[in-house]
Structure 1
Amino acid sequence: MTNKKLIGVDLGGTTIKFAILTAEGEIQQKWSLRTNILDEGSHIVPDIIESINHHIDLYKMSRDQFIGIGMGTPGTVDRDNGTVIGAYNLNWKTLQPVKEQIEAGTGLKFAIDNDANCAGLGERWKGAGNDGDDVAFITLGTGVGGGLIANRQLLHGIGGAAGEVGHIIVQPNGYQCTCGNHGCLEQYASATGVVHLAQDLAEEYEGTSRLKKMIDDGDEITSKIVFDLAKERDYLANKVVDKVCYYLGLACANISNTLNPEFVVIGGGVSAAGDFLLKRVQKNFNEFAFATVRTSTQLKLAELGNDAGVIGAASLATQFA
């Protein structure tokens, strides 16, 4: 491989993460900025350009030492034209010509994709995906996102919506989703979905439970609190976790029955529950997976944490090598 470097950018609603990596994907430097979404997000791209240029100068590097920049972003991405639209948490309501602006501002080649796709690429390349050819990635955060990689290539689909695993229907006519459908995985396995389930089950539950008492008292509940109480053998909390893992196992089986990846990697904040989550998901996966899939596809927890996005984003730029 070359001695040249990659730059990865993981653009989020509160923070922009940056990294300089080797061509093999090893992080050498990283830093971050607060995301300034004021004035319809018009400061975001200039801030990214200024920060990259500043750090290249700070590390006494030259432009010809870099292969290029890769970036993961929320919103609807046109990869060929390098534009983003509808990233509402960035205040980007109109079309943003990101590639054109960043290439002009930095003098480096630039590639862009959806942020969940980038996290999936990162985990496939340097994380739990073991650099495998076929990897499915699910991220459980405020919502549920995903990235599907087949034959080492990200699947995008005709409209760019491949990998929207959060919108697999796991409960027909279930909770209404922000997408307009009912019963999407996102409404049951995201951080907000876990809380919604807990509130509904607490209403029906008549026994004693610390979780029920907290909900009845109007205390703030988070998915972490639900999982922590379940680990402490709170009956109601365990009922909630069982339901979450049922829906997640069902979705993992559906994805795997379609794609038969080597690994299904589960990441994001909710996955911090670790093996406590994974073992229960595995039990449901085994129930719903096709026999060949059950023995060939392995469920794993993500390994890269917050670095998955920048590593995967940087990998987009390897196309320029």
Structure 2
Amino acid sequence: MAQKLLGIDLGGTTVKFGILTLDGQVQEKWAIETNILEDGKHIVPDIVASIKHHLDLYGLTKDDFVGIGMGSPGAVDRQEKTVTGAFNLNWSETQQVGSVIEAEVGIPFAIDNDANVAALGERWVGAGANNPDVVFVTLGTGVGGGVIADGNLIHGVAGAGGEIGHIIVEPENGFDCTCGNKGCLETVASATGIVRLAHQMAESYEGASPIKASLDNGESVTSKDIFEAAQANDSFANSIVDRFTFYLGLATANISNILNPDSVVIGGGVSAAGEFLRSRVEDHFKKYSFPQVRQTTQIKLAQLGNDAGIIGAASLASQFIEA
């Protein structure tokens, strides 16, 4: 009887794979490089070859698996199991993903957007503690997210549900966003956004600060540098972090005032700043949230790190478990 799930986390640089138990424990994991050459035409065949190789390696057959789940960047058609416009994969045209993998490997296949899938992972066995109402915000080079309400991922009519990075937090004097709007959360709360804030705020800051000195000298400064300086009491870095956490707190309060989730889970590279980040976001969140929301919705840090994608992808495959 099939007792395993296979999760795939497709990214622009690596494809991560995991074999999991039905209750979300990772048994095996591996990764391959994403070959995006020639319009990304090698990606799906490489995935198929890697699955076949590892099933042989571990002495497993297709009959051991309930299903395969996958998280992908770009616009995902869950019914057709296709991906369109995943530009970091060189997939501008619509790609047949699910039909090829199912035909080659013989295991049922499900696919969703990568941020949604990471949300499912954190909700299932991470900080969300399998609660039916969880919002996940991922802070990386952009700001992604996923909304799980009453146990279901919110997709919306065009698959754009849960675009947390595009909540407007600075309508008047905001930075231009790649989406065409101005003042989106992504422009100020991503790893690049906090550096953008630093440059903007450095113009009017007067006082000694290693971070300001680095910016004035044209040296490159990262979000990690800013958080470390703030923790070491650099007052300029502290003011940047405060502005950054204000935007994040405002956005999470707005989401929570609509959804009242059990928790808003913050993940992604920037969340490595840990409790220093979480507690300050929570302070702003409390200022802007509705009283009952303030008392019942928690701001938490993600727990699964890089495994959120494979675990969430595997949870997609659990839909194939026969009732």
TM-score bracket for this pair, using the shorter chain length:
over 0.9
**1:80 is matched with which residue?**
79
**2:63 is matched with which residue?**
64
Quick check: 1:254 aligned with 2:262?
no
| Structure 2 counterparts to residues 1-321 of structure 1, below 5 A | 4-173=3-172, 174-321=174-321
| Cα distance per residue 1:49-95 (max 9 Å; x no partner) | 00001000110111101001000000000001101000000000000
Structure 1 runs of 4+ aligned residues shifted over 6 Å read none
Task: Tell me the secondary structure at the aligned position of residue 214 of structure 2.
Answer: helix
Question: What displacement does 1:217 show?
Answer: 1.2
Q: Is the 2:265–2:300 contact (alpha carbons within 8 Å) kept by the matching residues of 1?
A: yes
* Count of equivalent residues: 320
Question: What displacement does 1:3 show?
Answer: 5.7
| Cα distance per residue 1:77-132 (max 9 Å; x no partner) | 00011010000000000000101111111111100000000000000000000000
Gaps of 5+ in 2: none
- Paired letter, 2:62: R
Task: Tell me the secondary structure at the aligned position of residue 284 of structure 2.
Answer: helix
Q: Is the 2:119–2:136 contact (alpha carbons within 8 Å) kept by the matching residues of 1?
A: yes
Q: Is the 1:242–1:280 contact (alpha carbons within 8 Å) kept by the matching residues of 2?
A: yes
Q: Is the 1:267–1:301 contact (alpha carbons within 8 Å) kept by the matching residues of 2?
A: yes
Q: CA RMSD in A?
A: 0.7
Gaps of 5+ in 1: none
- Paired letter, 2:125: K
TM-score of the aligned structures, taking structure 2 as reference length: 0.98
Q: Is the 1:3–1:22 contact (alpha carbons within 8 Å) kept by the matching residues of 2?
A: no
Q: Percent identity?
A: 61
TM-score of the aligned structures, taking structure 1 as reference length: 0.99
Structure-1 separation of matches of 2:243 and 2:18: 38
Q: Is the 2:135–2:146 contact (alpha carbons within 8 Å) kept by the matching residues of 1?
A: yes
Question: What displacement does 1:220 show?
Answer: 1.1
Question: What displacement does 1:202 show?
Answer: 0.9
Q: Is the 2:34–2:43 contact (alpha carbons within 8 Å) kept by the matching residues of 1?
A: yes
- Paired letter, 1:141: G
Task: Report which stretch shifted further, 8-17 or 203-212.
Answer: 203-212
Structure-1 separation of matches of 2:105 and 2:239: 52
- Paired letter, 2:11: G
Task: Tell me the secondary structure at the aligned position of residue 31 of structure 1.
Answer: strand
| Cα distance per residue 1:123-168 (max 9 Å; x no partner) | 0000000000100000000000000001111000011000100000
